[in-house]
Amino acid sequence: MNTGKSYAQYLDQQDELKHFRNEFYVSDETIYFDGNSLGLLSKRAEQAVAELMDSWKRYAIDGWTEGHHPWFYLSEKLGDQLAPLVGARPEEVIVTGSTTTNLHQLVASFYRPNGRKTKILADELNFPSDIYALKSQLKLKGYDSSKHLIQVPSNDGNTLKTSDIIANMTDDVALIVLPGVLYRSGQILDMKTLTKEAHKRNILIGFDLCHSIGSIPHHLSDWDVDFAFWCTYKHLNGGPGSVAGLYVNKRHFGHEPGLAGWFSSAKEKQFDMEHHLTPAADAGAYQIGTPHLLSITPLIGALELFQEAGITRIREKSLRLTNYLMELIEAELSSYGFFIANPREAAMRGAHVFIEHQEAARICKALKAAGVIPDFRTPNGIRLAPVPLYNMFAEVWQTVQILKSIMDKGDYKQFENKRGVIA
Reported as a single tens digit per residue, the pLDDT across 207-246 is: 999 999 999 999 999 999 999 999 999 999 999 999 999 9
The reply to whether 28 and 122 lie within a common domain is no
How far apart are alpha carbons 71 and 60 in whole angstroms?
A: 11
Chosen domain end from 308, 337, 361 = 308
Distances from the Cα of 249 to the Cα of 11, 111, 121, 196, angstroms? 40, 15, 20, 14
The whole-model pTM stands at 0.96
Look up the domain containing 335 and give its range: 5-32+310-414
Identity of the amino acid at 320: R
The reply to whether 303 and 314 lie within a common domain is no
Identity of the amino acid at 108: A
Q: Rounded to the nearest 10 degrees, how much is the dihedral formed by the CA atoms of 311, 317, 322, 323?
A: 130
How far apart are alpha carbons 106 and 206 in whole angstroms?
A: 9
The reply to whether 337 and 246 lie within a common domain is no
Residue 41 lies inside a defined structural domain of this protein:
no
* Residues paired with residue 158 on neighbouring β-strands, in sequence order: none
How far apart are alpha carbons 353 and 186 in whole angstroms?
A: 7
Residue 19: partners with Cβ closer than 8 Å, 6 or more residues away? none
The reply to whether 84 and 220 lie within a common domain is yes
Residue 46: partners with Cβ closer than 8 Å, 6 or more residues away? 25, 298, 301
The reply to whether 82 and 59 lie within a common domain is yes
| pLDDT at residue number 356 | 97
Provide the pairing of β-strand 372-373 with 31-32.
parallel
To 5 degrees, how large is the angle CA 176–CA 129–CA 358?
Answer: 105
Residue 421 lies inside a defined structural domain of this protein:
no
To 5 degrees, how large is the angle CA 47–CA 246–CA 68?
Answer: 30
How far apart are alpha carbons 365 and 280 in whole angstroms?
A: 49
Identify whether the C-beta of residue 162 lies closer than 8 Å to the C-beta of residue 190: yes
Binding-site sequence positions for pyridoxal 5'-phosphate: 99-100, 127-130, 208, 211, 233, 262, 290
Provide the pairing of β-strand 227-230 with 245-248.
antiparallel
Residue 10: partners with Cβ closer than 8 Å, 6 or more residues away? none
Would you call 342 helix, strand, or coil by DSSP?
coil
Total domains in the chain come to 2
Identify whether the C-beta of residue 151 lies closer than 8 Å to the C-beta of residue 123: yes
Which helix or strand (DSSP H or E) is residue 356 part of?
strand 353-356
Name the region of 186 (left: φ>0; alpha: ψ -120 to 50; beta: rest): left
Q: Which of 127, 141, 218, 134 is nearest to 176 (CA)?
A: 134
Residue 420: CB atoms within 10 A of its CB come to: 11
The reply to whether 275 and 351 lie within a common domain is no
The reply to whether 315 and 377 lie within a common domain is yes
Identify whether the C-beta of residue 221 lies closer than 8 Å to the C-beta of residue 256: no
Q: Which of 344, 405, 346, 402 is nearest to 374 (CA)?
A: 402
Residue 317 sits in a domain whose CATH number is 3.90.1150.10
Binding-site sequence positions: 99-100, 127-130, 208, 211, 233, 262, 290
Identify whether the C-beta of residue 367 lies closer than 8 Å to the C-beta of residue 374: yes
**What is the pLDDT tens value at each position of the chain, 423 positions in all?**
789 999 999 999 999 999 999 999 999 999 999 999 999 999 999 999 999 999 999 999 999 999 999 999 999 999 999 999 999 999 999 999 999 999 999 999 999 999 999 999 999 999 999 999 999 999 999 999 999 999 999 999 999 999 999 999 999 999 999 999 999 999 999 999 999 999 999 999 999 999 999 999 999 999 999 999 999 999 999 999 999 999 999 999 998 999 999 999 999 999 999 999 999 999 999 999 999 999 999 999 999 999 999 999 999 999 999 999 999 999 999 999 999 999 999 999 999 999 999 999 999 999 999 999 999 999 999 999 999 999 999 999 999 999 999 999 999 999 988 877 676
How far apart are alpha carbons 409 and 108 in whole angstroms?
A: 54
Q: Is 345 exposed, middle or buried (0-12, 13-18, 19+ CB in 10 A)?
A: exposed
| pLDDT at residue number 417 | 83
Chosen domain end from 308, 339, 360 = 308
